[in-house]
């Protein structure tokens, strides 16, 4: 287990690769050459090989580690360049909608217009990209260390902001899942938002004045009052 303390209120951004490079160098050795280890039970030396299966972290660390954007118009880490995003002018935030894409083609919910945004959903769910397909998206990206140098000129529709140092591992392209979000943050944040909205808990509910104004824009035929 590798532990790390990041001092100060700001995230390391791309500079995290400087620290992770040491880990990647050791992982390459463990994959190719292995290391000599002592088996205390058999009383003999054996060659130890190892690989990194995936990384687990919260969403901001997901972006720093993988180099993938976790906010903005392509901020869905699963849909990537097929993200269906929409900017809410009153709440001033980007949301990810069109969840009916993931239902079967003949599902009755796809035909419901008034409950969503007045349109029928005809598209299919985004297909999972293989590691090779993802690598083609990042192989030509240039890594510029330093938070004040690299992020300003990146296209809003570009899914990745950097090529992660983990792509140096010879097996990284062969993994279907390389980065995961830890369960603790998903359970806490999603549960708080749902229960806070249903129970109208002060400071936790998402059903506010600005949210109602945005709902009037999205669903103009519905009877939603701010």
Q: How far apart are CA 49 and CA 72, in angstroms?
A: 40
Cβ–Cβ < 8 Å for 170, 28: yes
- Condensed to tens digits (0 to 9), the pLDDT of residues 68-110 reads 999 889 999 989 999 999 999 999 999 988 889 999 988 999 9
- Condensed to tens digits (0 to 9), the pLDDT of residues 110-169 reads 988 878 888 888 899 999 999 999 999 998 887 766 655 544 467 788 899 889 999 999
205 burial type by CB count under 10 A (0-12 exposed, 13-18 middle, 19+ buried): middle
Residue 86 has φ and ψ, to the nearest 5°, of -150, 135
Residue 215 has φ and ψ, to the nearest 5°, of -65, -35
Name the residue with tokens 């008034």. 114
Token pair for residue 8? 């100060």
What does pTM read for this prediction?
Answer: 0.80
């Amino acid at each position: 287990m590798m532990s790390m303390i990041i001092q100060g209120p700001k995230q390391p951004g791309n500079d995290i690769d400087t620290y992770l490079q040491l880990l990647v160098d050791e992982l390459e050795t463990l994959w190719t050459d292995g290391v000599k280890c002592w088996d205390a039970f058999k009383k003999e030396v054996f060659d130890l090989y190892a690989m990194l299966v995936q990384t687990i972290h919260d969403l901001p660390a997901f972006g720093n580690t993988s180099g993938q954007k976790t906010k903005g118009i392509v901020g869905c880490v699963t849909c990537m360049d097929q993200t269906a995003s929409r900017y809410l002018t009153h709440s001033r935030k980007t949301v990810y909608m069109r969840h009916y894409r993931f239902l079967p083609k003949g599902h009755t919910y796809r035909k419901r217009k008034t409950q969503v945004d007045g349109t029928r959903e005809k598209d299919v769910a985004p297909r999972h990209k293989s590691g090779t397909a993802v690598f083609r998206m990042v192989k030509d990206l240039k890594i510029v260390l330093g938070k004040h140098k690299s992020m300003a000129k990146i296209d809003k529709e570009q899914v990745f902001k950097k090529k992660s140092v983990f792509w140096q591992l010879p097996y990284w392209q062969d993994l279907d899942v390389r980065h995961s979000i830890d369960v603790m943050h998903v359970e806490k944040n999603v549960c708080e938002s749902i229960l806070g909205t249903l129970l109208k808990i002060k400071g936790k509910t998402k059903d506010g004045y600005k949210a109602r104004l945005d709902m009037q824009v999205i669903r103009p035929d519905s009877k939603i009052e701010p």
